[in-house]
Amino acid sequence: MLKKLRTWFTKNAAELPWRLDDLNAPRDPYAVWISETMLQQTQVSTVRDYYVRWMKHFPNVNKLASATEDEVFRYWQGLGYYSRAKNILKTAKIIAGSGGKFPETRDALEKLPGIGAYTAGAILSLAYHQREAILDGNLVRIFSRLYKLSFLPTENKKAAEIYWEQARDVARGSKAYLHNEALMELGRTICKVRNPLCDKCPLATACRAHSDDCCAAFPPAKKRTQQEWHGTVLVVESADHKILGVIAGCKFFKGQLSLPHFESPRNATVGLSAEAEKLIPDDDINSLKPCGKFRHSITTHKIECDVLHVTLRARAAHTAQAANAIQWIPKSKSMETFANSFSLKALKLVQKD
C-alpha cells in the first residue's frame, strides 16, 4: 500500500512554495513550522501568498524574533486565529534566545507555545526525516475511510490512540517523511471531504469504505455549536484624524490592537452603551453616525455587528486615557495597522459612507 502511495505522490505532488523540488531532501525546520502553522484551519490556496510574503519579510527565526507583535499581526492579517501569530512570536523568541536551532525531539518541541503533536511531528518528519507520526484532518479522513472507523479521535483518549496507532504504522518505514506528506496531499486532492475522487486514489483497493460504496459516511460529522453574538463596533475619529484602537477590555482580540466593540441588542437605538461611554465620554462627541453592519465568524462565534462612526471635538492627545490600553492610529495608516479582518470590515464601511 505504501509503495503505491509513494509512486502516486512522486508523480502528482503539487508545486508549493514550502515544498522542495527534491521530495527526498530534508527541509528547513523554520519553513516547515511556519507553513504548517499557517495551514491549520486555512486552505492551501489561501496560504500560498501569505507564506511567500511572510518568508520574504521574516526569512529566519532570528529575524522573526526581533519583530514586534504589531508587525507580526500585519503579516498574519487575514489568516484568522490570531493566537497562532502570538504563539509564533513567543516561540521564535525562545528559539532565538537558545541559539536559533530548533529542538529535535517531540517533547522539546511540544513544550514551545503553539506547537502541538501534529506540528511537532511535521517538523521532525519533514525537516529531520525522523520516523515520527503526524495526524491532521486529512489523515483522520483517510484512516476513517480506509478502516471504516465510525468515530473521531476527538471523542476520547481510546479513539485518539486508535488513529495515532495508524499514523505510527505509516511512520515506521524508512520513507516516513514521504509517506506522511503523501497522505496529506492525498487528503487534500483526492480523498476530499465531499466528492472524493476514488477512481484516482492509489489506496482504493485497500479502502473498506470505497469497497462498500459508503465514503460519504466517513468520517462521521463533527458536532458543532456556534454561538450568536451581536455587537457594535466603534470607529472613533479624533479632530486631528486619528482612529482609536484598543488592546484591552473587549470581547474579541484581547491583547491585540482592534477597534473597540461592545455587545448590544439587535435593532438597538443608535447611540453609545454605558460600557462604551466609559471609553468615550458623551461630552467629547461631535457626531455619531451609523454606517451599516457586517457579519463575521471567530472560532465558535457567529457575529453580526453594527458600525458607528464617532467623531470627537478634541484632538487625540486631549482625549487619550489609559495609554497602555489604547492607541491612536493616523487615519491614513489605519487599514495597514489594524491586523484583523473584523476591524477592517468596519473601517471599510466607514470609508464607503
Residues annotated as catalytic (active site), given as ranges: 36
Cα 64 from Cα 255, distance rounded (Å): 19
User: Grid coordinates 486508535 are at which residue?
Assistant: 162
Question: Strand 227-237 relative to strand 301-312: parallel, antiparallel, unpaired?
Answer: parallel
Cα 229 from Cα 207, distance rounded (Å): 42
> What are 212's three cell numbers?
462498500
> What are 104's three cell numbers?
529535535
* Residue 313 one-letter amino acid: R
**Within a 13 Å sphere around the CA of 93, how many CA atoms are in the beta-carbon half?**
12
Q: Quick check: 177 and 183 in contact, CB under 8 A? A: no
Helices in 98-223 by DSSP H: which ranges? 106-110, 117-122, 137-146, 157-170, 176-189, 208-211
Crossing angle of helices 83-97 and 29-39, in 10° steps, is 170
Phi, psi of 74 (to 5 degrees): -65, -40
Cα 17 from Cα 49, distance rounded (Å): 9
22: left (phi over 0), alpha (psi -120 to 50) or beta: beta
Cα 194 from Cα 8, distance rounded (Å): 21
Closest Cα partner for 20 from 32, 6, 2, 8?
32
Helix (H, G, I), strand (E, B) or coil at 240: coil
Closest Cα partner for 50 from 27, 84, 95?
84
Helix (H, G, I), strand (E, B) or coil at 78: coil
User: Grid coordinates 503505491 are at which residue?
Assistant: 4
